[in-house]
Amino acid sequence: MNAAISWSCTRRLMLGTAGAVTAAHLSRALAADGGTPLKVAALFAGRIDDRGFMEAGWRGLQRAASELGVNVSHADGVAPQKDALAAALTRLAQSGADLVIAHGGQNNEVCAEVAARFPRQRFVVTQGSVTGDNLASYEVLQEESAYLAGVLAALTTRSGVVGHMSGIRVRPGLKGRAAYAAGVRDTDTRVRLLTNFSGNQDDNALSRRVAEAQIAAGADVIFTMLNAGRDGVTQACRDRGCRQIGNVIDWVERDPQVFIGSAVASVGQGVFEAVRALQAGLFPAGQVRRLGLAQGDAVKLTMAPDVPAQVRARVERTAQDIAQERLKVPEQYDGAEFPTPA
């Protein structure tokens, strides 16, 4: 874990990677009580270089440093276990931060408990669902792009079997799975879904085994809601001539041969918006703020160049239906699950 919480170190990183903070930025960032820039500390229960969920949150924090002129610090590499999360959040709160951000729904319970012990500080859970007198949640509705991923998978599978893979069972991941399953079902009831939660977001050997087992069972399109463990699936798909749908960032842009689509959900936007709200004196204590297809580019589905025009049109119509609330994305899945291979 990156346990060092050093604001001076963070300022050097900010200046080196994001450019010098201008006087205008600093004036906007001044804390109301002391005339100094706001301090924001964030917890990442994973690697900030995972090219997925954790990295997206970290980039949102760096954007806040660059554009809003706040001082930032973070702890990463923390195991998603209650005691470890509680200890890390407590250290961040004790560091003097004006705002402590816990990135990811796995922090819901523990952040509520830690926030209650530090009533004079503000806390946020991104992709969260908890609130309190000094606690808010921000949720980028990744289930909306996951539903579109289900539409794309059902329309592009040749075998009639599609897969879904994730790691730990947190609320956003479960909602994303439910949405993907509904998108598949609503598009073509004949398509069979294989869905798996392996218990680990970052283990490439494990994710490759699951992907190979799903491919052996007939899946030719697999939707992955993983972090650093996505590479194992990508290699399996490349070797077997199957396609993958990524999530969080635009994986199509990186590898259009393997990725037929990507359910983009800019989860770092929640981090940035939380900082901006506090800076503006509009911190939404006691609320859950949600960002979806109706709020711009925070959520969308990107598609590879070889996706047929009629498929693109169907996906775009569905996106409009969700944004305009003509279609409600389900949040529950009660079907069978694909076993994790030994």
User: Model confidence over 251-278: pLDDT tens digits?
Assistant: 999 999 999 999 999 889 999 999 999 9
Q: 311-339 pLDDT, tens per residue?
A: 999 999 999 999 999 999 999 999 999 99
Q: 42-93 pLDDT, tens per residue?
A: 999 989 998 888 999 999 999 999 999 999 999 999 998 999 999 999 999 9
Is residue 298 scored above 80 in pLDDT?
yes
Judge whether 71 and 9 are in contact, CB under 8 Å: no
Is residue 25 scored above 90 in pLDDT?
no
Which residues lie closer than 8 Å to 216 by C-beta, 6 or more apart? none
Q: Single out the residue of 167, 195, 161, 198 nearest to residue 179, CA to CA.
A: 195
- Residue 181's pLDDT band, with cuts at 50, 70 and 90, is very high
DSSP-assigned beta bridge partners for residue 46? none
What's residue 5's pLDDT? Answer: 52
Mean pLDDT of all residues in 297-322: 97
Using CA atoms, how far apart are residues 284 and 135, in angstroms rounded to an integer?
8
Q: 198-218 pLDDT, tens per residue?
A: 999 999 999 999 999 999 999
What's residue 35's pLDDT? Answer: 61
Tokens of 251: 């994986």
Q: 83-135 pLDDT, tens per residue?
A: 999 999 999 999 999 999 999 999 999 999 999 999 999 999 999 999 999 99
Rg (CA), the chain: 20
Q: Which helix (H) or strand (E) holds 136?
A: strand 135-140
